[in-house]
């Protein structure tokens, strides 16, 4: 029987992904192709409502990035960490909401860093649409911490998965976790359409608006952060 911890990913794993990868840990498998058709898209009422909502709020590039994060994350979990227990719905909602607060409107709606405001928005939406408080809290926790890159401590499985997937899509990190054929299929279904430049501009926008923002912790200097995003050796050819 699934427990709330398993359903909503409330299990602690190392925050630093290097502790989950060689030489500190042994990968479960080499990256294997996971066809997009084999990755289920949750269709619960709250999942459908969330998709309809973010389709109205996010620009096409950010929405496609959110869907790629879901696809890449599910592929990583299936091939590398099959022992992780969580519901696809919980991870799907995390992906849909993780960049909600980067919109022009939402960046200017609060002085909060976008991850924290986004987590709040996600929590309110899920509860308002009859999702459980436990589900809302798991999604909010993961959204709030999806750019929490400190090298120590723990994080939930959902939180680690959204980090692995977004840093892979945004910066090409840990490229050996996803099979090249999976990348091809995912990008074909959810095109980047210049996502690298789009995301770099969002980073610049938040740092300009909120020089205290959590985004500034992603690198030793603001330019280092931008350079890391714009380099992305894995995804450059798809932009």
> Residue 12 belongs to what H/E stretch?
strand 12-14
Q: Which range, 1-5, 28-32, 171-175, 208-212, is most confident?
A: 208-212
Residue identified by tokens 């719905």 is: 89
Q: Note the residue count of the chain.
A: 239
* Per-residue pLDDT tens over the stretch 65-124: 999 999 999 999 999 999 999 999 999 999 999 999 999 999 999 999 999 999 999 999
- Asked if residues 157 and 86 have their Cβ atoms less than 8 Å apart, the reply is yes
* Per-residue pLDDT tens over the stretch 130-142: 999 999 999 999 9
* Per-residue pLDDT tens over the stretch 184-222: 999 999 999 999 999 999 999 999 999 999 999 999 998
Helix axes 180-189, 60-80, angle to 10 degrees: 150
Does the structure show a pLDDT above 50 at 5? yes
- List the beta bridge partners of residue 107: none
**Which of 144 and 175 is assigned the larger pLDDT?**
144
Does the structure show a pLDDT above 90 at 177? yes
Does the structure show a pLDDT above 60 at 2? no
pLDDT for the residue 18:
87
- pLDDT cut 90: percent of the chain above it: 85
Q: How many CB atoms lie within 10 A of CB 4?
A: 12
Average pLDDT over residues 29-42: 93
b/e 6-45 (16+ beta carbons within 10 angstroms → b): ebbbbbebbbbbeebbeeeeeeeeebeebebeebeebebe
Average pLDDT over residues 36-46: 97
pLDDT for the residue 24:
74
Q: Which of 210, 20, 9, 4 is nearest to 110 (CA)?
A: 210
Phi, psi values for residue 14, rounded to 5°: -55, 140
125-130 contacts at long range (C-beta below 8 A, 24 or more positions apart)? 125/49, 125/50, 125/53, 125/97, 126/46, 126/50, 126/93, 129/45, 129/46, 129/49, 129/50, 130/45, 130/46
Q: Is the dihedral of CA 130, 120, 76, 238 positive or negative?
A: positive
* Per-residue pLDDT tens over the stretch 46-65: 999 999 999 999 999 999 99
Both tokens assigned to 128: 């308002």
The structure's pTM equals: 0.96
The confidence band for 4, taking pLDDT boundaries of 50, 70 and 90, is low
pLDDT for the residue 30:
81
Q: Which of 136, 140, 48, 133 is nearest to 100 (CA)?
A: 140
pLDDT for the residue 1:
45
Q: With H, G, I as helix, E, B as strand and everything else as coil, classify residue 155.
A: strand
- Asked if residues 66 and 146 have their Cβ atoms less than 8 Å apart, the reply is no
Average pLDDT over residues 149-165: 96
Q: Does CATH place domain 12-22+42-231 in 1.10.8.60?
A: no
Phi, psi values for residue 118, rounded to 5°: -60, -40
pLDDT for the residue 9:
95
pLDDT for the residue 158:
98
Does the structure show a pLDDT above 80 at 27? no
């Amino acid at each position: 029987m699934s427990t709330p911890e398993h359903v909503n990913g409330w299990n602690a794993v190392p925050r630093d992904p290097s502790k989950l990868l060689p030489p500190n840990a042994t990968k479960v498998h080499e990256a294997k192709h996971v066809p997009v058709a084999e990755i289920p898209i949750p269709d619960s009422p709250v999942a459908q409502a969330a998709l309809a909502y973010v389709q109205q709020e996010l620009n096409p590039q950010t929405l496609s990035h959110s869907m790629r994060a879901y696809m890449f994350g599910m592929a990583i979990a299936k091939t590398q960490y099959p022992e992780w227990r969580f519901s696809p719905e919980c991870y799907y909602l995390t992906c849909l909401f993780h960049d909600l607060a980067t919109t022009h409107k939402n960046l200017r709606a609060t002085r909060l860093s976008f991850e924290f405001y986004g987590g709040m928005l996600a929590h309110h939406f899920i509860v308002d649409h009859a999702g459980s408080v436990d589900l809302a809290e798991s999604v909010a926790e993961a959204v709030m911490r999806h750019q929490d890159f400190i090298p120590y401590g723990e994080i939930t499985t959902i939180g680690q998965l959204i980090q692995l997937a977004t840093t892979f899509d945004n910066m090409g990190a840990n490229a050996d976790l996803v099979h090249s054929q999976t990348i091809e299929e995912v990008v074909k279904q959810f095109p980047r359409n210049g996502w690298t430049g789009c995301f770099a501009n969002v980073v610049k926008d938040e740092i300009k608006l909120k020089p205290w923002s959590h985004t500034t912790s992603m690198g030793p200097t603001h330019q280092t952060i931008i350079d890391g995003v714009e380099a992305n050796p894995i995804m450059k050819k798809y932009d």
